[in-house]
Structure formats: C-alpha cells, structure tokens
Amino acid sequence: MLIDTHCHLDFKDFNDDRPVVLKRARDGGVGIIINVGSSLEGTARSVEIANENDFIYAAVGIHPHEADSVSEKDFKLFSGFLDKPKVVAIGEIGLDYYKNISSRENQKKLFTRLLETAKGAGLPLIIHNRDSHQDMIDILKDVMGSSVSGAMHCFSGDENFLKICLDMGFFISFTCNITYKNANKLKETVRLVPMDRLLIETDAPFLAPQDFRGKRNEPVHVKYVAEEVAKIKGISFEKVAGVTTENARRLFKINA
C-alpha cells in the first residue's frame, strides 16, 4: 500500500472528475490520501472530502500566499476546524520567499500565529518552505522549541537545512519532482534522508512526474515517487512502500 501524504483534491482542477481520480488512486494501490488545505475555503472542502471518503484524511491550513488578507475572524474560523473528525495535521503553513505573493512580514506573523494555535491542538505540522530557511527555523524554534512533530513538504533545502530539520524531528517529504531529469541535487538529498524519516507525496495537481510533465498530477502518481526512491536508495519498491506507509501512519496517527 502507498500513502499520498500531500495533495489538493479540493482544487477546481478535480471538479469534473474527482470520483474517477479517487478510483484510479485506489485501483493503483494508494490506500490512504491526506488532503491538505491551503486556505480557509480549501480547508473546509478538505474536511468535507475526508468525511465523504473513508480512505481520505484532512490537514487544515492557511498558505503563506494568503497572509496579506487573513483576518481575526479567519483565525477563529480556522480554530474551529482543529477538532473535526479525520483532521490529522495542521498545514500547509509556512513561508514562501520565492513568489512573495504576500509580504514577508505578514507571512511571518501568520506563520507564528498558526504555530501558536498548533501548539494547543497537539497535531503534527505540514510545512511549506521556499527560500526561507533561516526565518523558518528561527520562528519554529521560537514558538515550538527544538523538537517538532511534522513534515517538511516538497523538500528543497540543502544538506545543512536537511540536518537541521532532521535534528528537530521532522519527517522529510518528497514529490514527483525527484523524477525529473535535472533533479540530480534533489536525488542526492533523497539519498541522505534516513528511511525511517522519509515520506512520499504528489502535491497534486502540481509537479506531475517526468513522464507526465505539463499535465495534471494526481494521487495515483505517488507510485513514481516510490519507484524513484527505490532506485536512488538501491532497495525494492515494496520496501519503500512499506516503510513510507508506516512512517505516515506514525506521524499522522492513522490506524485504519
């Protein structure tokens, strides 16, 4: 069995054929999907999709791109999602200094506020980080301390950042972009991650694997991530599937 630990089935990209996409995933060996909210609206849809499908769980989050427009009312609404059935994580939350769609100051304020909320909820984190390594770590350590339960989603940092994340207790999650022909540096990072701290994801509808570049990604493609990890690590696909499934169950406390 495979677990796609991060996708966005709530996005409009799936509005026309969501049931078909879900069937394709199940038929392809994906036993569990974690659908990740990236806005209040997306979070509400994520929870709804999880409630409608026994093999889907929800993460609730507000993406850093939303930081300029978030309000006090939004924080109250967000807090109301934390104890909903099948909510297994807070995310995706974090910082994005690559696109800078929201100001960095507002991103940091939003991230800090959501982390403070997360502390009381006792849920693991799903972290979005693009080109914000130092601020990311500084805020995490300031609010959460030196030990954090969570996943660094779509990991893209260097070896030094990887060591910091591992030392803090993070799981490291990789997407289909490790299959790209020019992903040598990323593949080397995969090689460095201990198997008991590695997760796989699609980030669908984004980052389709090499053979599907330019097309919509979907959860069934998580098998390509597992295959690439197996190739990089020199172990079997079955070993990767088994270990990453157990890792995801452990982090998100899923017993089904």
Find the Cα–Cα–Cα–Cα dihedral 128, 129, 134, 138, rounded to 10°: 0
Q: What are phi and psi of 185, to 5 degrees?
A: -65, -40
- Tell which residue, 58, 104, 53, 97, has the closest CA to residue 81: 58
Peptide bond into 124 cis (omega under 30): no
Which pLDDT tens digit goes with each residue over 191-249?
Answer: 999 999 999 999 999 999 999 999 999 999 999 999 999 999 999 999 999 999 999 99
pLDDT > 90 fraction of the chain, expressed in percent and rounded: 98
* CA-based radius of gyration for the chain: 17
Helices 159-168 & 133-144 angle (0-180, nearest 10): 10
Please report the pLDDT score of residue 256 as a whole number: 75
Assign 170 a pLDDT band (cuts: 50, 70, 90): very high
- The one-letter code for the residue type at 56 is I
Across the beta sheet with 125-130, the strand order is 2-7, 30-36, 56-60, 87-96, 125-130, 150-152, 171-174, 198-200
Please report the pLDDT score of residue 28 as a whole number: 98
What is this structure's pTM?
0.97
Which pLDDT tens digit goes with each residue over 13-42?
Answer: 999 999 999 999 999 999 999 999 999 999
